[in-house]
Amino acid sequence: MIVLPQAAADVGSVFVNRVTCRVLVCERHFRESDILTSSKYVDSKTGKVVEAKLKIARLSSDAVPSVFPNCPAYLSAPAATSREAPAEKRMRLEAASLREAIANSLETHEEEETKHKFDTFQALLECLPQMKLSNFWSVISRPACIHFLNLALEDAPRVLLSITVLEDLTVKVHCQDVQLTTIDGIGAIPHKVNDIRCLTRLLDSVESLHGELSCKHLGGVDAGGVAC
């Protein structure tokens, strides 16, 4: 037996006053397509339609008794041509649209990652033009390394801060002649870089310390390996 939907009960009450939303009806009087045994919803993370089985079967909102065995044929309505219900169509279109949006987002993310990542020194050189550097840095590119230098342009120009990326993509940061391993507020300096965004953040972080050039603000080792 199946619980009669409120809409069907309202229609039935026009003819039989005793019909209510709690009236039970026999499933044999309904087409298979009128009986719902599962509920569907769209997963917002994947765009897929998820189907969950109902504990108790129920009738669709537009279901009406149309099958009457052992009765004159004219009492039974012919099976209607299969047609997608508006709710199912809306769910299907929503799921398709969501899947397309997720696929486009993943594709855009992958393109963005590919655009910024590099795994060879040559690839780094090719990424350099897309870097937006301030006038704080002077860039010197050599066959086996790239120097990002902050220069004090005095009578005798000297290097105040430098970041060097070697051919194997390892990184060395110096405050004058002191190699740094950590910077207060930033933490450990990365040993290697393979992402142009990571390199840009490192450059920005070191640039922000221009007013604190004293090595007491910077963690590092001098030429003899003694911490500053």
Instruction: Give the mean model confidence (pLDDT) for residues 205-224.
Output: 58
Q: Which of 4, 145, 136 is nearest to 65 (CA)?
A: 4
**For position 97, what pLDDT does the model report?**
77
What is the per-residue pLDDT across 22-78, written as a single tens digit (0 to 9) for each? 666 676 667 766 777 767 666 666 666 667 777 777 766 666 676 767 676 655 556
Q: Which residues contact 196 (CB under 8 A, 6 or more apart)?
A: 116, 117, 118, 124, 127, 130, 131
Q: For the ranges 3-12, 73-82, 104-113, which has the lowest average pLDDT?
A: 3-12
**For position 96, what pLDDT does the model report?**
75
**For position 16, what pLDDT does the model report?**
47
* Of 61 and 93, more confident: 93
- Mean pLDDT taken over the chain: 73
Beta-bridge partner residues of 165: 146, 171
Cα angle 215, 218, 224 (rounded to 5 degrees) comes to 65
**Sign of the dihedral defined by the CA atoms of residues 42, 47, 52, 57, in that order:** positive
**For position 197, what pLDDT does the model report?**
87
Spatial distance between the Cα atoms of 19 and 130, rounded to a whole number of angstroms? 74
Q: Which of 137, 224, 219 is nearest to 181 (CA)?
A: 219
**For position 163, what pLDDT does the model report?**
94
Give how far Cα 58 sits from Cα of 2, 6, 36, 51, Å. Answer: 6, 11, 5, 15
Q: What is the pTM of this model?
A: 0.50
**For position 14, what pLDDT does the model report?**
44
